[in-house]
Each structure stands twice: as structure tokens, then as C-alpha cells.
Amino acid sequence: MRCGPDRTALVKGPVEIAPGVHGLGSEMVNWYLVEQAGKLTAVDAGLPGFKRHLEADLRVLGRTPRDVVAVVLTHADADHTGVIPDLQRAGARVLVHGADADFLRRPGLKGGDANVRNILPHLVRPATWKIGAHIAREGGARPPKVEGAETFEDGDVLDLPGAPRVVHTPGHTPGHCVLSFERAGVAFTGDALCTWNPLTGRRGPQLMPTALNVDTDGAERALALVEEVDASVVLPGHGDPLHDSLANAVAAARQAGRS
């Protein structure tokens, strides 16, 4: 799912990862579309700058923004909410866990482990500057304030294309969730588990770095909540798709430890 330096800011068009499941975004920030019966569920919404390519990307799939029924969020960070206003204007619902709803309406600093003290050691790393520049260039420093979102809770099965099941995995944010599309055999892990560390550049299944989590202890505990999720494809917010079980991804993340 990685792309070469072709389009502006490494933005890529839709890539089919599994039947009816498409990856979009950039080399560093992913969002996804799941298709069922001609309608789409967006999982996360990337960075605000991705709106430049939104209609063209959907046109590749033979769709328009009006075909996106809903945006369902793994969490409410700025690099996961960017094109929500454009999809809302076209009629999409927005759904987020209740614990992240206020942050979606009033985005700001997360707090907890996500503080300057923990990010300072990473400033010597080229990957940290690369992701920071990419997020700034694509409008991540000015995330949209999203009103009118519906909320869901742990265990809910959402009446949306693909019928995602919610697994609440607090840690990266209080309302972070993994979304299991059981019919498609796909689990969207958001930032509960990544396959590319945006601060160190390390590849492979792992926790997000401490400096980006509200509660890294909680994020580590939350891995146990998704071990039994039945999926053969793991799709993170950052990094390449993993064509393996979520249980194996969790085991690899535990072995990788913290950063």
C-alpha cells in the first residue's frame, strides 16, 4: 500500500486491498473505504489536504461523495478527520466513540503521555521531521471542528455498509476503537496498532510511540481486547496492510515493545 513520490505530498489514489476494501491517503497516513451494494463506509478520513483528490479518487471507483453513507472513526485525531466536512456536506453520517466525541467537536492537545517531554528524544530522527512536515503541509495543524456526530459504544454492530463491529481499545485516545468488518475478514486498527512507526520509521506491527498516546499503559492492555478478533487482513492508520491474523499482529507488537 506504500506509494512512490508521484502525486503531491505522496497522496495516492484508491488501492484495492481486499474485495470491496480500498486504501487511500498517503505514504504516511491511511484512510479507507468499504463498499457494499454500491454504497461506501469510510473508515477514518485522513488529513484535510486530502480533499484535493477526494472526488477524483472516488471517480476511480465509479463513485461520488454522495455514495459515502458514513464516516466511522477509529478515533478523533487530526490525521483521521480531515475530509469529514466534505463528506458531511454530501450527506454522510459521522460516527465516533462517545469518549472521543468532545475532542471531535473541539480538537486540541491530547495530554497524558502525549507531551513535549516524550517527543523531545525523537527530534533527532528524520522520520519525526518527515511526518511532522507532512501533517503540517496537509493541514493537520488546523483540523476541522466536527459537529453532529453520532456516538457508538463497545460491542455495537453499526448499521452501515460492511456492518462494522466496535471493539473499544482506549489508550491512544480515550475513545479509540478497532473496527472489525467480519464479513470482509478485515480489522481496522487505527492507532491501536501500526505497521510503521511515524516517529522512528520502524516497520512491522507495534504500538504507536508513547509520545503520541494519551495512555500507553492502557494502549498496551488494549491489545488483549482484540486478540480474538477474526480477521485475515489488518489495516492500520499508519503503515502497510498486514495480511495475517490480528492475534499474530498483537504478538508481534508485544515483542516489539514500546518506543
Predicted confidence (pLDDT) per residue in 95-114, tens digit: 999 999 999 999 998 999 99
pLDDT(143) > 70: yes
Tens of pLDDT, residues 32-90: 999 999 999 999 999 999 999 999 999 999 999 999 999 999 999 999 999 999 999 99
pLDDT, one tens digit per residue, over 222-255 is: 999 999 999 999 999 999 999 999 999 999 999 9
Q: Which three cell numbers stand for residue 71?
A: 464516516
**pLDDT of 2 over the 80 cut:** no
pLDDT interval class at 12 (50, 70, 90): confident
Taking 3-state DSSP, the helix, strand and coil percentages for the chain, each rounded to the nearest 5, stand at 30, 25, 40
DSSP character string of 181-247? ETTTTEEEEETTSEEE-TTT--EEEEPPPGGG-S-HHHHHHHGGGTTT---SEEEESSS--B-S-HH
With beta carbons less than 8 A apart as the criterion, state whether 242 and 233 touch. Answer: yes
Query: Is 221's pLDDT higher than 60?
Result: yes
Identify the pLDDT of residue 259. Answer: 94
pLDDT of residue 11: 56
Render 181-199 in DSSP notation, one character per residue: ETTTTEEEEETTSEEE-TT
pLDDT in tens, 164-179: 999 999 999 999 999 9
Q: How far is CA 134 from the centre of its chain?
A: 16
CATH H-level superfamily of 8-256: Ribonuclease Z/Hydroxyacylglutathione hydrolase-like (3.60.15.10)
Q: Are 226 and 189 in contact (CB under 8 A)?
A: yes
Q: Is residue 1 pLDDT above 50, yes or no?
A: no
Asked if the model's pLDDT at residue 159 lies above 70, the reply is yes
Q: What is the mean pLDDT of residues 127-153?
A: 96
Q: Cell numbers of 200, please?
A: 522512528
Q: Which helix (H) or strand (E) holds 101?
A: helix 101-105
Supply the pLDDT for residue 183.
93
Q: Compute the distance between CA of residue 45 and CA of residue 82 in angstroms, rounded to an integer.
A: 5
Polymer length of the chain = 259
Question: Is 82 or 1 the better-scoring residue by pLDDT?
Answer: 82
CB under 8 Å to 181, separation ≥6 — which residues? 21, 34, 162, 163, 164, 165, 187, 188
Mean pLDDT of the chain: 94
Q: Is pLDDT above 50 for 210?
A: yes
Torsion of CA 136, 142, 143, 146, to 10 degrees: -170
Place of cell 497522496: 11
Dihedral of alpha carbons 195, 202, 11, 78, sign: positive
Q: What is the predicted pLDDT for the residue at 13?
A: 80
